[in-house]
């Protein structure tokens, strides 16, 4: 039988004992509760001292617990699969990093994360626009359609490179225009990696809770403005996963 430890989800500013229900990771129905030091607490549940596989089920449980806690508190998310060997080890962590954690709690006070992904609906149309608008691409396209196989292959390589550069620039230009719409609403923004030719923007915004409605309206305006051309995938409010990730080395 494996030894029991304490799984750490997040840090909150509170010294009250809380029971968030039997929603702990691992599917055993473990109670999620708090362990405090001074006026901050760790949100934890009992768990075997084993490493959790990074899969959808475990990651979703980890995030859902933090989302549940966020309903009542400002949260500092802790990296997935952070497990303490004992309550004493947790209290020692809170004591040693008290000033750092208090500072982060001040920074994140009343803040939430909004996620926005923007994709072109028709990439074929976008490539047509690139050929029409970019003189170098247009010239290379004509050259690649020549009769000489040797010239043809070299031109095709050059064309592919030119199209990629033009596509990246078009994405960057359109992403900047979209981000600019939100500049007065967010405290911070993080642009994550783009996936595939159609994705224009993959961003996380840190905003004050009081600006949620304003942010919603801006997204609605963009959907109307780019109707037929772009798809907007919008999630939030969520914990600030992209802006805080407490890493613990015991």
Two tokens, residue 249: 């080395």
Q: What's the whole-model pTM score?
A: 0.85
pLDDT of residue 128: 78
Question: Which CA distances in Å does 219 have to 126, 211, 243?
Answer: 22, 12, 21
Instruction: Please name which of 121, 118, 113, 120 lies closest in space to residue 215, comparing C-alpha atoms.
Output: 113
d(CA 84, CA 47): 9
Instruction: Please name which of 92, 85, 94 lies closest in space to residue 43, comparing C-alpha atoms.
Output: 94
DSSP characters over 97-150: THHHHHHHHHHHTTEEEEEEEEEES-HHHHHHHHHHH-HHHHHHHHHHTSS-HH
**Which residues make beta-bridge pairs with 127?**
none
Mean pLDDT by 10 residues, the chain (250 residues): 88 94 94 96 94 94 96 96 94 96 96 96 80 60 55 64 78 93 95 92 97 96 92 94 92
pLDDT of residue 132: 67
241 Rama class: left (phi>0) / alpha (psi -120 to 50) / beta: alpha
pLDDT of residue 167: 81
pLDDT of residue 166: 78
Instruction: Please name which of 40, 148, 58 lies closest in space to residue 97, comparing C-alpha atoms.
Output: 40
Two tokens, residue 39: 């006026």
Cα angle 130-134-138, degrees, rounded to a multiple of 5: 90
Q: What are the structural domain ranges in the chain? A: 4-109, 113-238
Phi, psi (rounded to 5 degrees) for 83: -125, 125
pLDDT of residue 158: 65
pLDDT of residue 138: 56
Instruction: Please name which of 167, 179, 97 lies closest in space to residue 137, comparing C-alpha atoms.
Output: 167
């Amino acid at each position: 039988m494996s030894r029991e430890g304490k799984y750490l989800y997040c840090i909150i500013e509170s010294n009250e004992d809380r029971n968030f229900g039997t929603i702990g990771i691992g599917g055993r129905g473990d109670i999620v509760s708090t362990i405090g030091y001074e006026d901050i607490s760790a949100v934890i549940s009992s768990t075997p001292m084993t490493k959790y596989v990074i899969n959808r089920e475990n990651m979703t449980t980890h995030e859902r617990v933090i989302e549940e806690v966020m309903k009542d508190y400002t949260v500092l998310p802790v990296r997935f699969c952070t497990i303490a060997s004992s309550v004493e080890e947790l209290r020692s962590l809170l004591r040693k990093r008290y000033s750092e954690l208090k500072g982060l709690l001040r920074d994140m006070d009343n803040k939430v994360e909004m996620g926005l992904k923007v994709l072109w609906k028709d990439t074929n149309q976008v490539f047509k626009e690139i050929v029409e608008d970019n003189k170098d691409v247009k010239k290379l396209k004509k050259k690649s359609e020549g009769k000489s196989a040797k010239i043809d292959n070299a031109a095709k390589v050059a064309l592919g490179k030119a199209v990629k550069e033009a596509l990246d620039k078009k994405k960057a230009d359109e992403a900047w225009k979209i981000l600019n719409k939100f500049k007065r609403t967010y405290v911070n923004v993080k642009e994550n990696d783009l996936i595939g030719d159609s994705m224009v923007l993959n961003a996380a915004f840190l905003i004050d809770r009081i600006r949620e409605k304003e942010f919603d309206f801006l997204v609605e305006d963009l959907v109307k403005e780019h109707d037929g051309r772009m798809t907007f995938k919008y999630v939030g409010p969520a914990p600030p996963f992209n802006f805080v990730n407490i890493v613990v080395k015991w």
